[in-house]
Structure 1
Amino acid sequence: MHRFTAVCLAGAFCFLISGSRAEASNLLPAAEEGIASVMTEAYEADPEADQKVLEEMTPSEYDGICIAQVNDYVNVRSEPNEESEILGKLYDNSAGTIEEETDGWYKITSGSVTGYVKADYVVTGDEAEALAAEVGERVATVTTQTLRVRTDASTDASVLGLIGEGEELTVTNEQDGWVQVSIEEGDGWVSTDYVDLRTDFVQAESKEEEEARLAEEEAAKEEGRRRAAEVEAKANSSSESSTQTVVGSGSGSSSGNAVVSFASQFVGNPYVYGGTSLTNGADCSGFVMSVYANFGVSLPHSSSAMRSVGYEVSLADAQPGDIICYSGHVAIYCGNNTIVHASTAATGIKYTSPANYRNVICVRRIF
């Protein structure tokens, strides 16, 4: 009640100023006193009244959002009818921004695509805002050279783990200048002073982008087949035999199993933050990078960057040698629902099962 009165008085005061300078001049002290009195009463009734008014007047970050709710995708068209040209696809749970509404169609912008989708296939308003919090992924990108992840939202809390600059972490909670993020050692807290925050949504894909993606995936597969043939030829020409037990043996390509066999011999060796030595110590991405380097494959020393190498497959289709990506972590799939990875300083390089012991962001295949 007080908040509503205060806003009305402020509006009346502005009207008086524009209507008559002389009258406004005379009324200025009285008006100021009246507004101040009402605001004081509002504050006394509710000390957080000002903040609540600001929150109510501030647009939601999801204002104007629409989210596709379909089995696979809905076409984005050039005009608001089903006969017009298809410009792209808005996939299930993908988000766009509504530009206008026309006869049961929404004109939206999503990614690089601007066009029309049938209103029946997207949700909007409060329903979309509620869904956005579920389907959007909150991400923190590290902006300092080495970020300390702490056990609690305080600089006095003990350090849970260390994360390098540029790494992207999944945010699980937020409070008072701190965000909780997921890393291999568990969920910990980092100051927002040292990360950039954003919310990621899957966006529409244009016809040209889809064609380029499919061509890139096919090229990556072809390169994988070429590398696999090289690895197999090298293995066949070698007179050396190994009694090493291969966790992933019996499924997948011979080259993928060769990667697992090579990686497995380093189980028990130490984890060292920033390290790349398979014997003296490596961190998670350093381990994967160095294992693949043995097969002539150059990979980045970054768990986030590894989400873009090779081509993507589903976790259900994972084969030995595939790279499993998590928030702030990366591993090599062995088969039998098991991974081998440089886990933590406490555990070193080890096997872990099941592979989805943490939320899997993506699976990438090199061979």
Structure 2
Amino acid sequence: MTAGVASVVKSTAKNIAETSMLDADILNDLEAKTDEENFENLVIAKVNDYVHVRKEPNTDSESVGKLYNHSVGTFLEEKDGWYKIKSGSVTGYVKAEYCVTGKDAVELAPKVGTRIATVTTTTLKVRSGASQDADVIGLVPIEEELVVKDEQEGWVKVDIEEGQGYVSNDYVKLSTEFVEAESKAEEEARLAKEKAEQEAAIKAAMAEARRSRQESQKQARGGKGKTSSGSGKSYRPAESYTTASSGMGNAVKDYALQFVGNPYVYGGTSLTNGTDCSGFVMSVYKNFGVSLPHSSAGDRSVGAAVDGLANAQPGDLVCYSGHVALYIGGGQIVHASTSRTGIIVSNANYRTPLSVRRVF
């Protein structure tokens, strides 16, 4: 090798090494970027319901979508008191006075976002405590997304079907998910689907109620009708579950079961795109004209108390600590369980119920 060629090779190698070091520095800087820096560029709606996303920055401009309360977009620019944002499939302008960004967004974002831990190893052990010596309570596969309940040094507390546990921070990638804007087309499609589902559910409920009334009349003619005496308790006895409520309960059950397999989303209420446990119960009953709170704790005080699972009937609410489900009969429930399982059917005794409530 000549001296000239050797000099070129040496210079090239030096440049490659310096470039590699520069790339590594850039990557390290990106990885070190804090949530605070990321959240500063968000625009978060802070309204009672929603703010229109408009094609141009004025109130006469066409609405291209809606940014619901605490939904999030990415800041693009500011113009005459309007923020241009991109959120989901929607790009447009929102009135600045109805949103927060910058430092205010940094403060609000952790409260409205859902912290997610994505598994990065083939099989991740979930432990009962934040220690390698703690018992293993479950195993989670790679790329599984877990809802984060708490973060400690080196450990993340997560929800799995077996309960809450801890995973090592070394084997998950942490991120924050937000609800995004809904375009006009997406809203129209959602409303049309919800209307069709509601009409089908009401039709099924009416048919079941008619069938139950006919069966009741048939039994009454046979002299088999019974009445229940007062027990002196505040519980609703099993006999008070009338044929009319039986029809409604079964209709609620049938309607709820069609959503099995759909996703769990913390804070969500969409039976198709994602809901949490109380959002699932609330949205199912909404289709029958019954208003329930978006709170598993609040559900423990609705309707009338039923004396335990032994007297539960389809459509009853089964309330647990921090969770709520719909009873479907045969000792089973349907519920929005976790982000890993979505909406599933489980044994009603998979956890200890705190109460059973009847709302119809």
Which bin holds the TM-score, normalised by the shorter protein?
0.5 to 0.7
TM alignment of 1:151-190, pairs within 5 A:
151-160=128-137, 169-175=146-152, 178-183=155-160, 186-190=163-167
Q: 2:70 aligns with which of 93, 105, 122?
A: 93
Q: Deviations over 1:285-341 (max 9, x none)?
A: xxxxxxx57x9955536773996358554633878727789999762169xxxx968
- Aligned partner of 2:271 in structure 1 is 308
> How far apart are residue 98 of structure 1 and its match?
0.8
Q: 2:95 matched to 1:121?
A: no
Query: How far apart are residue 93 of structure 1 and its match?
Result: 1.2
Cα contact 2:129–2:165 (8 A) shared by 1:
yes
Mapped pair 1:353 → 2:355:
yes
Give the direction of change, closer, same or farther, for the CA distance of 1:354–1:143 in structure 2 (3 Å limit).
farther
CA RMSD of aligned residues (A): 5.2
Aligned match for 2:190, one of 208, 213, 231: 213
Q: Aligned residue for 2:88?
A: 111
Question: In the superposition, relative to structure 1, how do residues 316 and 173 fare at CA in structure 2: closer, same or farther (>3 Å)?
Answer: closer
In the aligned structure 1, how far is the partner of 2:334 from the partner of 2:257?
A: 18
* Structure 2: distance between partners of 1:137 and 1:201: 6
How far off is 1:230 after superposition? 3.8
Kindly provide the amino acid, as one letter, of the partner of residue 304 in structure 1: Y
Residues 205/299 of structure 1: CA separation in 2 closer, same or farther (3 Å cut)? closer
Aligned-partner Cα distance in 2 for 1:61–1:207 = 28
Residue 229 in 1 paired to residue 223 in 2?
A: no
In structure 1, the residue matched to 2:315 is: 321
5+ long unaligned stretches in structure 1 = 1-24, 29-50, 261-291, 356-366
SS at structure 2 position matched to 1:223: helix
Equivalent residues in 2 for 1:1-367, closer than 5 Å: 55=32, 60-140=37-117, 149-160=126-137, 169-175=146-152, 178-183=155-160, 186-191=163-168, 197-238=174-215, 245-246=237-238, 249=241, 254-258=246-250, 292=253, 297-298=257-258, 300=260, 304=264, 308=271, 311=283, 313=286, 315-316=292-293, 321=315, 331-332=325-326, 348=350, 351-353=353-355
Q: Distance in 1 between matches of 2:263 and 2:184?
A: 30
Residue aligned with 1:216, SS? helix
Contact 1:184 1:328 in 2 (8 A): no
Q: Which amino acid aligns with 1:300?
A: V
Percent identical residues: 46
Decide whether the 8 Å contact of 2:127 with 2:166 is kept in 1.
Answer: yes
Question: Deviation string for 1:64-86 (max 9, x for gaps)?
Answer: 10111122221111111111111
Query: 109-118 or 162-171, which moves further after superposition?
Result: 162-171
CA shift in 2, pair 1:183/1:79, >3 Å:
same
Structure 2 unaligned regions, length at least 5: 1-10, 15-27, 229-235, 273-279, 304-313, 338-345
- Equivalent position amino acid for 2:260 in 1: P
Mapped partners of 2:132, 2:246: distance in 1: 49
Q: Deviations for 1:110-150, whole angstroms, at most 9, x for unmatched residues?
A: 11110011211111111101110111111346789987532
Secondary structure of the residue aligned to 1:98 is strand
In structure 2, C-alpha distance between the alignment counterparts of 1:148 and 1:346, rounded to whole Å: 26
| CA distance in 1 between partners of 2:175 and 2:33 (Å) | 22
Give the direction of change, closer, same or farther, for the CA distance of 1:128–1:154 in structure 2 (3 Å limit).
same
Structure 1's 331 and 158: CA in aligned 2 closer, same or farther, altered over 3 A? same
Could you tell which deviates more after superposition, 308-317 or 90-99? 308-317
Letter in 1 for 2:326: I
Structure 1 letter corresponding to 2:249: N
Q: C-alpha separation between the residues in 2 aligned to 1:207 and 1:183?
A: 35
Contact 2:262 2:271 in 1 (8 A): no
- Cα distance in 1, alignment partners of residues 348 and 293 from structure 2: 30
Deviates more, 1:299-308 or 1:207-216: 299-308
SS of equivalent residue, structure 1 residue 316: coil
* Secondary structure at the counterpart of residue 180 of structure 1: strand
Aligned counterparts of 1:165 and 1:246: Cα–Cα separation in 2: 46
Q: What is the rounded CA distance, in whole Å, between the counterparts of 1:256 and 1:299 in structure 2? A: 18
The number of aligned residues is 273
Q: 1:298 to 1:94 in 2, by over 3 A?
A: closer
Q: How much has 1:213 moved relative to structure 2?
A: 1.3
1-side partners of 2:316 and 2:122: how far apart? 29
Alpha-carbon distance in 1 for matches of 2:122, 2:34 = 38
Cα displacement (A) at 1:258: 4.3
TM-score for both structures, normalised by structure 2: 0.57
- The answer to which of 218-227 and 317-326 deviates more is 317-326
Q: Is the 8 A contact 2:87 2:181 kept in 1?
A: yes
